[in-house]
Chains A and B, each alone.
Chain A
Amino acid sequence: AQKITQTQPGMFVQEKEAVTLDCTYDTSDQSYGLFWYKQPSSGEMIFLIYQGSYDEQNATEGRYSLNFQKARKSANLVISASQLGDSAMYFCAMRGTGTASKLTFGTGTRLQVTL
């Protein structure tokens, strides 16, 4: 079984500052993938970034980067130069080794970007 833990129910960050959203995971699979999704107040789920368990480099996508520490089983999302539009719910998710690779989600972190 896979488990995702997000311990920060809410976070505040000032505009233009960087923020780190925490995610730890637990799995017995050797091969797995870690994802971050953004859910604005409108409700849709927007894919942000992906990290494979065998990737040697941390993933980056524009202002998003994933700080992957395999030994610690953590996959923290770093958002640089925060913008007001980054205010949303952020979910960490995991895909294990399986026929159709379902995603297991954490409980999410609500990020509020302030002026």
Chain B
Amino acid sequence: EPEVTQTPSHQVTQMGQEVILRCVPISNHLYFYWYRQILGQKVEFLVSFYNNEISEKSEIFDDQFSVERPDGSNFTLKIRSTKLEDSAMYFCASSEGLGRPKNIQYFGAGTRLSVL
């Protein structure tokens, strides 16, 4: 069964460092998303991406964040200068399309980011 793959599963970094979180969405999917979940809290939307551009972003997704689809398979989230409050689980998700049932978003296993 196709799945969304995220690497690494756990990333530890020092405050102020840049990190890149990687995702391989399901191959025929067209819509890509990043969400984050601070420990013990609900899942929050960061950004959606379609047709090689950002479709929507939340207030959390400030200038420190960027996304890229560098090739036909990878989808990355970059945090330029990490802060302590960026520590969270980051989920990548993808969906085939917008109409039902294509709008179901399938999630990866997440990358746990720890900023020290």
Which chain A residues border B101 with CB–CB below 8 Å?
Answer: 50
Closest B residue by C-beta to A45 = B107
Contact of B45 among A37, A43, A104 (CB under 8 A): A104
**Given that A98-B56, A105-B44, A106-B42 are known contacts, is A44 also in contact with B103, CB under 8 Å in the complex?**
no
Size bracket of the B interface: 20 to 34
Closest A residue by C-beta to B57 = A102
**Given that A33-B100, A50-B101 are known contacts, is A105 also in contact with B42, CB under 8 Å in the complex?**
yes
Closest A residue by C-beta to B112 = A43
Interface mask (A77-95 → B, CB under 8 Å = 1, otherwise 0): 0000000000000010101
Asked whether, in the complex, the Cβ of A108 is within 8 Å of the Cβ of B42, the reply is yes
Asked whether, in the complex, the Cβ of A35 is within 8 Å of the Cβ of B104, the reply is yes
Asked whether, in the complex, the Cβ of B100 is within 8 Å of the Cβ of A99, the reply is no
Which chain A residues border B42 with CB–CB below 8 Å?
Answer: 91, 105-108
Asked whether, in the complex, the Cβ of B48 is within 8 Å of the Cβ of A100, the reply is yes
Asked whether, in the complex, the Cβ of A103 is within 8 Å of the Cβ of B105, the reply is yes
Docked CA distance A35–B108 (Å): 16
Contact of B31 among A101, A105, A108 (CB under 8 A): A101
Closest A residue by C-beta to B50 = A100
B interface residues (Cβ-Cβ under 8 A, vs A): 31, 33, 35, 41-45, 48-50, 55-56, 58, 89, 91, 93, 95, 98, 100-101, 103-110, 112
